[in-house]
Amino acid sequence: MTGRGTLTEPRARGLGSAAGLLCAWEQGAAVPSGAVGAALLRAAGVVEDLATALDLPLSDSSVLLAAVYARTFGERVQAETSCASCGERLELELPLHRIDPVPEPAAHGTTVVTVPDGADVAGGELLVRCPTLRDVVAAGDAPDPETELLGRCVTDGKGGGVDVAALTPDVRRAADRAAEQLAGAGALVVRSACPGCGGSVSADVDLAALLWQRVTTEAGRVLGEVAELAAAFGWAESEVLALSEHRRAAYLTLVRGRP
Ligand SMILES: [Zn+2]
């Protein structure tokens, strides 16, 4: 706490209020798509600044995003996917309360991958750490995102950089698997049976994208309501946003019931 107040733009913390939701929507729109999860954690008041959110291991940021989603929109998330075998569209439900934190120290430690004799890796082993959102953003801009992502998370046994593209397929696979395991909830997959063909369907869950989708939809709804009430009563945006959800709904009912 600095003790010094601000005269302009008081930042609504949290996504629970209409004003907070619009702030989160603005902050999410202002960053590259890979960083939206970090922007939402910042907007929700879970972390102090964007840099802190970007440097969280994916295992942590996913658990925090799940908590923000559950707190703001409830515990059940519907996600759509399609069956790879028959093309049937299906809706999967993701129970957020079943997303558990990766047990310490896995999330914050490193996994050692031993490389076979003769491989050109100092120390004869690779150290793999959990990817962060910052790694994901950087990888998104690279010509080969998967190689870039792994390269950022792997060092040799002596702490030096590793040319991931030069690793043998087996070692590369082991390193990929280690990074995925460290990410834990960050690499969430839901599985279900396809109602069309009975086959098994699995879908990667991107909590940041799901939360962002929901924030975008709700922000659109709030903006529409502000526009409606502003036009009807001549109120400023801040005045409409200051109304409780209940009172806003009551005024909307009045406006819409007018002949
Ligand atoms: Zn199917």
Domain chopping of the chain, boundaries: 18-80+205-254, 106-187
Q: Residue 136: CB partners within 8 Å, gap ≥ 6? A: 34, 58, 149
Task: Enter the pTM of the model.
Answer: 0.80
pLDDT, residue 190, reads 79
**Ligand 1 geometric centre to CA of 91 (Å):** 12
- Tens digit of each residue's pLDDT (9 = 90 or more) over 63-78: 889 889 999 998 888 8
How far, in Å, CA of 138 to CA of 141, rounded? Answer: 6
**Ligand 1 geometric centre to CA of 188 (Å):** 21
Query: What average pLDDT does the chain have?
Result: 85
- For residue 105, say if its preceding peptide bond is cis, omega within 30 degrees of 0: yes
Does 187 have pLDDT greater than 70?
no
**Ligand 1 geometric centre to CA of 87 (Å):** 6
How far, in Å, CA of 18 to CA of 124, rounded? Answer: 55
Does 3 have pLDDT greater than 50?
no
Residue 254 dihedral angles phi and psi, to the nearest 5°: -60, -50
Does 8 have pLDDT greater than 80?
no
**79, 190 contact by CB (below 8 A):** yes
- The structure tokens 């960083």 sit at 35
- Tens digit of each residue's pLDDT (9 = 90 or more) over 156-182: 888 888 898 888 888 899 999 888 888
Does 12 have pLDDT greater than 50?
no
